[in-house]
């Protein structure tokens, strides 16, 4: 066996001996002499060093010295830990046996945790992360997405208006437009962010929530590629046993469009978690991409909805109340 191998073996058996060492004097002396003594294992290794060839000698010597330092330091530490503290006098009125104070430690917000997971999955399959404005003009939030003024689909998203032309974005799809305006294809992005809707507040809807948008543009992109990607994503997040379905749907900016549901055991019903579809050629035209050359798919998911399903949270308002009893459960 090479000397290097022997050094490793001595290291392993020394650690094992140290782990099972008791405070018994005999035990301590036994380990000391077996490893660190004049005729101990380390001394033996040093004597074998003499016969090593001159090329290896300096390297092995260094390894051996490291091992020796390591062993003697951790041995002394261990022995010291057995000794009771000395010169320790208690003044009247002080009780050192009282338990210490515990300071509460914070944790990441459940939405942040889910967001991090979503980002990790998409990063691992080649998506980059982008962000865009929460206050945007009518063009980016609606018109460029194939929703001209008075388009009935605008009713799907009750909007907060800053003025006639400026809105709090109702979805992260506005960033699709910014990305395509500012970059040449191909594009592979996810866009996490906050969105706003003027909805009645209840256990299932709030005036603000979070979405993650996805946009994929390239040549020869198919709808089934999107299905595969989204199915992979849902399984990474909810486990491979999750029951999932694609249901035909409508969005003005995708054609064809679908929604993805996952089966919820507790409620005994399908729950929608995202909308998706192939990018509508009209959207490509609005940003100056040639739809004869480029295809793509887009999707948008509700982060709260996903967190509620994953963590079995019944009321969306709990995310925003900053109640430590709720937050500390995650
Ligand atoms: N923007 C849509 C919504 O908020 C979701 C979506 C995004 C659908 C991208 C299709 C493509 O409901």
Name residues whose C-beta falls within 8 Å of residue 279's C-beta, 6 or more positions apart in sequence. 176, 215, 217, 253, 254, 295, 296, 297, 298
CB-CB contact of 5 with 40 (8 Å)? no
pLDDT value at 319 more than 80: yes
Q: Are residues 205 and 302 in the same domain?
A: yes
pLDDT bucket at 104, cuts 50 / 70 / 90: confident
Atom of ligand 1 nearest to the CA of 195: 4
pLDDT digit string, tens, across residues 143-194: 999 999 888 878 777 899 999 999 999 999 999 999 999 999 999 999 999 9
For residue 33, the model assigns a pLDDT of 92
| Nearest-CA residue for atom 6 of ligand 1 | 300
Nearest-angstrom CA–CA distance, 106 and 324: 9
| Nearest-CA residue for atom 4 of ligand 1 | 171
In a domain, 71, yes or no: yes
State the average pLDDT for the chain: 93
pLDDT value at 34 more than 90: yes
242 CA distance to ligand 1 centroid (A)? 22
Mutation pick for ligand 1 pocket among 171, 190, 196, 217 (CB with most ligand atoms within 8 Å): 171
In a domain, 174, yes or no: yes
Q: Are residues 75 and 123 in the same domain?
A: no
* Domain boundary, last residue among 64, 82, 100: 82
For residue 193, the model assigns a pLDDT of 97
**Phi and psi (nearest 5°) for 312?**
55, 55
Q: Are residues 211 and 307 in the same domain?
A: yes
Ramachandran bin of 93, using left for φ above 0, alpha for ψ from -120 to 50, beta for the remaining angles: left
Q: Are residues 22 and 76 in the same domain?
A: yes
Nearest-angstrom CA–CA distance, 70 and 67: 5
What's the domain range around 238?
110-327
Q: Are residues 279 and 315 in the same domain?
A: yes
Quick check: helix, strand or coil at residue 145? helix
pLDDT bucket at 52, cuts 50 / 70 / 90: confident
pLDDT value at 90 more than 70: no
| Nearest-CA residue for atom 12 of ligand 1 | 275
Omega of the bond leading into 92 within 30 degrees of 0 (cis) = no
For residue 326, the model assigns a pLDDT of 93
- Give percent of the chain above pLDDT 70: 98
The pTM of the full predicted model, rounded to 2 decimals, is 0.70
CB-CB contact of 37 with 43 (8 Å)? yes
Closest CA to 176 of 219, 142, 126, 208: 142
In a domain, 90, yes or no: no
Least confident of 60-69, 215-224, 245-254: 60-69
Nearest-angstrom CA–CA distance, 208 and 185: 31
In a domain, 162, yes or no: yes
In a domain, 101, yes or no: no
Closest CA to 253 of 191, 185, 308, 299: 299
| Nearest-CA residue for atom 2 of ligand 1 | 300
Pocket (CB within 6 angstroms of ligand 1):
171, 173, 213, 251, 254, 275-277, 298-300
276 CA distance to ligand 1 centroid (A)? 6
Atom of ligand 1 nearest to the CA of 257: 10
Average pLDDT for 86-96: 70
Mutation pick for ligand 1 pocket among 251, 272, 282 (CB with most ligand atoms within 8 Å): 251
**Phi and psi (nearest 5°) for 65?**
-65, -40
pLDDT value at 96 more than 90: no
Atom of ligand 1 nearest to the CA of 176: 9
Q: Are residues 75 and 127 in the same domain?
A: no
pLDDT value at 279 more than 80: yes
315 CA distance to ligand 1 centroid (A)? 23
Q: Distances from the Cα of 157 to the Cαs of 152, 177, 245, 251, 257, in angstroms?
A: 10, 18, 24, 12, 17
Q: Are residues 8 and 48 in the same domain?
A: yes
| Nearest-CA residue for atom 8 of ligand 1 | 275
Average pLDDT for 33-41: 92
Name residues whose C-beta falls within 8 Å of residue 210's C-beta, 6 or more positions apart in sequence. 111, 115, 192, 193, 194, 195, 302, 303, 304
* Domain boundary, last residue among 82, 100, 130: 82
Q: Are residues 44 and 192 in the same domain?
A: no
| Torsion 73-76-82-83 (CA) sign | negative
Nearest-angstrom CA–CA distance, 233 and 250: 22
pLDDT bucket at 86, cuts 50 / 70 / 90: low
Q: Are residues 171 and 31 in the same domain?
A: no
pLDDT bucket at 87, cuts 50 / 70 / 90: low
For residue 302, the model assigns a pLDDT of 96
Q: Are residues 263 and 194 in the same domain?
A: yes
Atom of ligand 1 nearest to the CA of 274: 5
Please state the domain count of the chain.
2
In a domain, 148, yes or no: yes
Least confident of 21-25, 180-184, 238-242, 244-248: 21-25
In a domain, 12, yes or no: yes
Atom of ligand 1 nearest to the CA of 215: 9
For residue 81, the model assigns a pLDDT of 84
Q: Are residues 75 and 155 in the same domain?
A: no
Number of C-beta neighbours around residue 243 at 10 A: 12
CA dihedral 117, 119, 124, 128 (to 10 degrees): 180
In a domain, 78, yes or no: yes
Report the DSSP beta bridge partners of residue 260. 246, 274
Q: Are residues 141 and 284 in the same domain?
A: yes
Average pLDDT for 199-203: 93
Average pLDDT for 255-273: 94
CB-CB contact of 167 with 159 (8 Å)? yes
| Nearest-CA residue for atom 7 of ligand 1 | 300
pLDDT value at 15 more than 80: yes
């Amino acid at each position: 066996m090479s000397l290097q191998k022997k050094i490793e073996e001595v290291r392993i058996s020394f650690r094992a001996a140290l782990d099972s060492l008791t405070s018994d004097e005999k035990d301590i002396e036994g380990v000391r002499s077996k490893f660190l003594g004049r005729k101990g294992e380390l001394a033996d290794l040093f004597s074998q060093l003499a016969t090593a060839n001159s090329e290896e000698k300096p390297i092995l010597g260094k390894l051996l010295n490291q091992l020796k330092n390591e062993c003697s330091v951790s041995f002394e530490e261990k022995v010291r830990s057995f000794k009771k503290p000395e010169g320790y006098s208690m003044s009247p009125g002080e009780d050192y046996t009282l338990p210490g104070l515990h300071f509460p430690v914070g944790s990441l917000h459940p939405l942040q945790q889910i967001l991090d997971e979503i980002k990790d999955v998409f990063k691992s399959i080649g998506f980059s992360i982008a962000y865009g404005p929460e206050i945007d003009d009518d063009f980016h939030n609606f018109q460029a997405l194939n929703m001209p003024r008075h388009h009935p689909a605008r009713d799907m998203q009750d909007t907060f208006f800053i003025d006639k032309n400026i809105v709090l974005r109702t979805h992260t799809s506005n960033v699709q437009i910014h990305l395509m305006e500012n970059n040449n294809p191909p594009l592979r992005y996810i866009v996490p962010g906050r969105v706003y809707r003027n909805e009645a507040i209840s256990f299932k809807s709030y005036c603000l929530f979070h979405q993650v948008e996805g946009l994929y543009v390239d040549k020869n992109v198919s709808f089934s590629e999107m299905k595969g990607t989204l199915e992979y994503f849902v399984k990474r997040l909810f486990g491979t046993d999750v029951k999932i379905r694609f249901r035909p749907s409508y969005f003005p900016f995708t054609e064809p469009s679908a929604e993805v549901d996952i089966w919820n055991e507790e409620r005994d019903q399908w729950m929608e978690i995202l909308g998706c579809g192939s990018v509508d050629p009209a959207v490509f035209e609005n940003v100056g991409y040639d739809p004869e050359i480029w295809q793509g798919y887009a999707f948008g998911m509700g982060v709260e909805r996903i967190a509620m399903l994953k963590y079995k949270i019944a009321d969306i308002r709990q995310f925003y109340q900053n109640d430590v009893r709720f937050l500390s459960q995650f």
